[in-house]
Structure 1
Amino acid sequence: MGTIKETVMNDMNKSRKAGENKYEETLSKYDCALNDEQVAAEVKQLLDEKMAENNNLEVKKFLFGSIELTTLKNTDNDESVMAFTEKVNRFDNDYPELPHVATICVYPCFAAAVKNTLDVEGVNIACVSGSFPSSQALIEVKVAETALAVKDGADEIDIVMPVGKFLCGDYEGVCDDISELKEACGEDVAMKVILETGCLRNTADIKKASILSMYAGADYIKTSTGKEKVSATPEAAYVMCKAMKEYYDQTGRQVGFKPAGGINTVDDALAYYTIVKEVLGEKWLTNKWFRLGTSRLANLLLSEIEGKEIKFF
């Protein structure tokens, strides 16, 4: 007969294995055996064949309306964030014929400053949370930060998937983190899960991380924090969109998509638009379901729309 300690350890191991089996069973419903070179070839062919037709004024206006105007600098303060928000207010008055940006994205400590300054109806307040950008904190700390951001006015929360847990195969830990943070957001506050695709090993990892994040409660999946050397790429976006389409077909639940980090040109934005259009379809081509995490793109798109160089933001 084993000792009490041995019995407890055996029970814990059985529980852990049952949890692992649940997540492996979920992943087994999807094709995660991807080949990086094949994915790259498919993306190149798609963009070569389809991107040019999206290079037009209406698409550029749509893309402008999908921007999450973001300030995540160490030097941010209440005054600078309020001035940043005032630009969105002024834009709505100066360019009434154009769509406004989708959100203003800031650190949680500035949610109240944005809420008290923002006058434009329909622009949401997004906060990065959960120990952004590393996600390396106790879950209690991440939950508290998220709940406080929501209390102060955040309409949307962007968290980072615990990449270290994912890479060592702790899928249960990954999903538990995401689920607890979604619970802190509540049903009315959308939560985006950042996969930090530049830290993942291959496209198979990106597919698995996408599925697990949606399974655990993500309302959006997002490529990157913009804080790593490798941020959004068309290949990562393609795999994520494929995962979203498969997930939607199996569950009926629509999840939004947000490429972020390294979106430096209008062509970059057009590439992501083309991928979403061709893989996910028209249902995702609204600024509710498709977002762009970039600020530098705002002036570039505005300049192309107006036909002259403009530095508004």
Structure 2
Amino acid sequence: MGIIKDVILHDQEAKKQEPSKYDEALAKYNTDLDDNAVREAVRKIIAEKVPQNDTEEVKKFLFGSIELTTLKTTDSETSVLAFTERVNDFDNEYPELPHVATICVYPCFAKTVAESLEVDGVEIACVSGSFPSSQARIEVKVAEASLAVADGATEIDIVMPVGKFLSGDYEGVCDEISEQKAACGEDVAMKVILETGAIKTASNIKKASILAMYAGADYIKTSTGKLEPAATPEAAYVMCQAIKEYYEQTGIQIGFKPAGGINTVMDAITYYTIVKEVLGEKWLTNKWLRLGTSRLANMLLSELKGEQIKFF
């Protein structure tokens, strides 16, 4: 028995030393990043490039990239129906402005939105995967995504299993993301939330971005908005660098969504500028750049119309 045990332990140790396919995927990219260097690069972009993007044209674009979101404990069919009707009404009252890109709700309200939304081109996104903690059995996560899609969701936002990532279980992270993408199907885009405030470092954010894309993400998203810090310009910069390098390696274009902590119009312009500078014009459409915020809608509308407006 001692010999058999030694052989098993030797085999296990050998497997640990062999690079996994996830390690091999990460090895194609520079993930050894310096946080201070990232902060300096972002500081330079903000100082030199943001002011030139403070224009009416950019603000209109940003309005059309908003994912109007309600994720409250108090949400009900009645409140979500009223929320959706505001999007319908906006299209009638402000025909000269773009409509929002998306309505984002909990999965149990997908059908309510699908049955009441009248504006063509507005996506229906549902947070899924045991949002915001991602702490549930994979079977539950898969079922939640499948049911949301069946009820009319056209996009699904899931949370990367952060605990598994921080434990180094990259296989577990990628398997969960892949299984949920399979539940979404090819026609329903899936956003993977990295929860950058929890994984903290630039190196971790770069690794998580690559793993999420490798596993099937159609978008990578900064945060749930339920944990501080949420989106930051530094996290956005690293994620956009990862998207750019992944595109250069694979030819696959991945979308980007900062979410949480977008409190001012200038915050939104800052994220727009980072995307423009790192990824370029190809990402400056409301398909590839989304903003996870609701408070921004009234702020942008007020600036565009030159008066205080609380429409949403």
Shorter-normalised TM-score: what interval? over 0.9
1:168 and 2:167 matched: yes
In the TM superposition, 1:83-232 aligns within 5 A as 83-232=82-231
Q: What RMSD over aligned residues (CA atoms) do the two structures have, in Å?
A: 1.7
Alpha carbons of 1:147 and 1:18: their partners in 2 closer, same or farther (altered >3 Å)? farther
- For structure 1, the residue ranges without an aligned partner over 5 or more in a row are none
Secondary structure of the structure 2 residue equivalent to 1:68: strand
Partner of 2:75: 76
Secondary structure of the structure 2 residue equivalent to 1:141: helix
Contact kept? 1:276, 1:285, Cα under 8 Å:
yes
CA distance in 2, matches of 1:146, 1:36: 35
Contact kept? 1:211, 1:243, Cα under 8 Å:
yes
1:50 and 2:49 matched: yes
CA distance in 2, matches of 1:219, 1:19: 29
Alpha carbons of 1:14 and 1:302: their partners in 2 closer, same or farther (altered >3 Å)? same
Partner of 1:36: 35
1:283 and 2:279 matched: no
Alpha carbons of 1:107 and 1:37: their partners in 2 closer, same or farther (altered >3 Å)? same
CA distance in 1, matches of 2:7, 2:221: 42
Partner of 2:294: 295
Moved segments of 4+, more than 6 Å: 1-11
Contact kept? 1:20, 1:172, Cα under 8 Å:
no
Contact kept? 1:241, 1:257, Cα under 8 Å:
yes
CA distance in 2, matches of 1:310, 1:15: 64
CA distance in 1, matches of 2:49, 2:127: 33
Q: Deviations over 1:172-226 (max 9, x none)?
A: 0000000000000000000000000000131100000000000000000000000
Deviation at 1:5, TM superposition (A): 7.8
Between the aligned residues of both structures, percent identity stands at: 72
**What is the total number of aligned residue pairs between the two structures?**
312
Alpha carbons of 1:246 and 1:130: their partners in 2 closer, same or farther (altered >3 Å)? same
- For structure 2, the residue ranges without an aligned partner over 5 or more in a row are none
Secondary structure of the structure 2 residue equivalent to 1:60: helix
TM-score, normalising length: structure 1 = 0.96
Deviation at 1:17, TM superposition (A): 3.9
Deviation at 1:47, TM superposition (A): 1.1
Secondary structure of the structure 1 residue equivalent to 2:90: helix
CA distance in 1, matches of 2:202, 2:143: 33
Alpha carbons of 1:203 and 1:129: their partners in 2 closer, same or farther (altered >3 Å)? same
Q: Deviations over 1:138-189 (max 9, x none)?
A: 0000000110000000000000000000001000000000000000000000
Partner of 2:236: 237
